[in-house]
Amino acid sequence: MVALLDGTAHPDARAAFFAAASDDLAATALSAVDMSVRIGSLTLNAPVMPASGCFGPDLGALIPVGELGATVTKTVFGSARGGNPVHRLTEVPAGMVNSVGIPSHGPAGYLATLHPRYAALDAPTIISVGGHRIGEYAPVVAALGEHGAAYELNVSCPNLDRDGTDIGSDPAAIREVVAAVRLVTGKPLIVKLPVLVASIAACALAAEEAGADAVCVANSIPAMPLDAQTRRPILGNVIGGLSGPSIKPIVLRLVWLASRAVQIPVIACGGIETVDDALDYFSVGASAVQVGTASFGRPFAAVEIVRGLRRRSLDAGVGSIRELLDLDAPR
């Protein structure tokens, strides 16, 4: 039995390990390095948060969520829906492919069951919202009302009104979604863009011009893992989303391009496991990062990155990540 952060006992050796790490690094966490970042009217204490779908409120008992900038929920759709057929997740070299399929309780179900548990955590809740038609996003955000500290629009969803390509691969569709959502909320809006786009700059710009406060780059990449023995698809849904370290160089390029195209913050998401991964993204223009796949193996990963950024800044005698990056800059 071990004591967790909230004082409860837990019979899990892994929990003991993470709780011990928490004590070890607590002094660094309290340092005076300013790592705050603004997303519209919302100020995050740290530029690190979980990626959507990779952090459930249960993790609040295991890690000090208050050290993160925010939590991000799994995507909420307009009506209740199930997930994809099993098998839903498989490892591949340097990553994994998931076809969870985003099961959702709809906004009312989310507010009744999951939201109170997110809201009880010590970090702002960014609610991820999805839709399969341009007109589906705004009603969900309206139904969620004031409950989100911010909304992240997951536009990596097939547009069933058109040819089934992702809404987020079409700048005109992004513009329509964001403009409609902007009419129903004054809360900060983040638009989470897909990887497979003709021009990430055009997509990011469309989001900015329609009123988004930030873009998140990017989501997992469509992929199709096969079983080496049978040469049949491993996943019940045949295709899924590739995530983890293998996608980092692809997403680094997209973050670099998006950062040059817009003035609003770019939140990077793709294969971030360590403080150096985060610094790589900051150096190509990201203002904040999200941690997804790494959290499954190491739930403490995002907190370790926050603490690592603070420690590196302290060791270098600088007060911000920007100054830390300037030290690294070629002269």
Ligand X SMILES: Cc1cc2nc3c(=O)[nH]c(=O)nc-3n(C[C@H](O)[C@H](O)[C@H](O)COP(=O)(O)O)c2cc1C
Positions marked catalytic:
157
Task: Rule CB under 6 A: choose which of 140, 272, 279, 306 binds ligand X.
Answer: 272
Task: Rule CB under 6 A: choose which of 45, 125, 128, 169 binds ligand X.
Answer: 128
Task: Rule CB under 6 A: choose which of 45, 71, 84, 293 binds ligand X.
Answer: 293
Q: Considering the complex, what minimum distance in angstroms separates the CB of residue 219 from ligand X? A: 4
Counting beta carbons within 10 angstroms of the beta carbon of residue 320, is it exposed (0 to 12), middle (13 to 18) or buried (19 or more)? middle
> Helix H segments across 57-124?
106-109, 115-119
Helix (H, G, I), strand (E, B) or coil at 120: coil
Among 48-56, 109-117, 253-261, 305-313, the segment contacting ligand X (CB under 6 A): 48-56
| 299 sits near ligand X (criterion: CB under 6 A) | no
Give the total residue count for the chain: 331
Task: Rule CB under 6 A: choose which of 98, 125, 159, 169 binds ligand X.
Answer: 98
Q: Which residues make Cβ contacts (< 8 Å) with residue 330, sequence separation at least 6? A: none
Tokens at residue 120, please? 């009880």
| 188 sits near ligand X (criterion: CB under 6 A) | no
The smaller minimum CB distance to ligand X, of residues 37 and 97, is found at 97
Q: Considering the complex, what minimum distance in angstroms separates the CB of residue 268 from ligand X? A: 9
Within 10 angstroms of residue 251's Cβ, the number of other Cβ atoms is 25
Q: Which residues make Cβ contacts (< 8 Å) with residue 301, sequence separation at least 6? A: 273, 274, 291, 294, 295
Q: Considering the complex, what minimum distance in angstroms separates the CB of residue 17 from ligand X? A: 22
Among 116-124, 165-173, 231-239, 289-297, the segment contacting ligand X (CB under 6 A): 289-297
| Structural contact between residues 90 and 69, judged by C-beta atoms closer than 8 angstroms | no
The smaller minimum CB distance to ligand X, of residues 131 and 171, is found at 131
Rounded-to-integer distance, Cα 14 and Cα 296, Å: 13
| 190 sits near ligand X (criterion: CB under 6 A) | no
Q: Which residues lie near ligand X (CB under 6 A)?
A: 51-54, 74-75, 98, 100, 102, 128, 154, 192, 219-220, 243-244, 247, 269-272, 291-293
